Amino acid sequence: MNKKIILIIVAVLVVGIVGGYALALSQKNNLSGKVQDQEVIAQKQNINKANCLADECLAVNDLEYPAGSLSSEAKEALVEAINDEYKAHALYEKTIAKLGLVRPFSMIIRAEEQHIASLKSLFDKYGLEIPADNWAGKVSAESTLQQACGAGVEAEIANAKLYREKLLPMTEGYEDIQAVFTNLMNASEQKHLKAFERCK
In this structure, what CATH number is given to the domain that contains residue 135? 1.20.1260.10
Alpha-helical runs (H) found in the chain: 2-44, 72-99, 105-125, 145-162, 168-170, 175-187, 193-199
Q: Give the residue among 139, 138, 188 at the shortest CA–CA distance from 163.
A: 188
Ranges of the chain whose pLDDT falls below 50: 34-36, 38-44
- In angstroms, the CA 145 to CA 199 distance is 8
- In angstroms, the CA 34 to CA 45 distance is 16
Q: Residue 162 has what pLDDT?
A: 93
**Do 36 and 129 lie in a common domain?**
no
In a domain, 50, yes or no: no
In a domain, 49, yes or no: no
Residue 176 CA: distances (Å) to CA of 37, 165, 183: 22, 18, 11
Q: Residue 35 has what pLDDT?
A: 46
pTM: 0.71
**Do 107 and 158 lie in a common domain?**
yes
Model confidence over 70-80: pLDDT tens digits?
899 999 999 99
Q: How many C-beta neighbours within 10 Å does residue 60 have?
A: 18
In a domain, 164, yes or no: yes
* CA-derived radius of gyration, the chain: 25
- Whether the CB-CB separation of 131 and 82 falls below 8 Å is answered with yes
In a domain, 58, yes or no: no
Q: Residue 64 has what pLDDT?
A: 65
- In angstroms, the CA 13 to CA 32 distance is 28
Structural domain span for residue 32 = 2-44
133 secondary structure, DSSP code: -
Looking at the structure of the chain, the number of domains it has is 2
Q: Residue 24 has what pLDDT?
A: 59
Residue 41 CA: distances (Å) to CA of 56, 62, 63, 107, 136: 9, 16, 16, 31, 40
- In angstroms, the CA 113 to CA 119 distance is 10
Q: Residue 72 has what pLDDT?
A: 94
Q: Give the residue among 172, 49, 75, 68 at the shortest CA–CA distance from 129.
A: 75
**Do 141 and 178 lie in a common domain?**
yes
Helix 145-162 and helix 105-125, axial crossing angle in degrees, nearest 10 = 30
**Do 23 and 107 lie in a common domain?**
no
Single-letter amino acid, residue 108: I
In a domain, 195, yes or no: yes
56 secondary structure, DSSP code: G
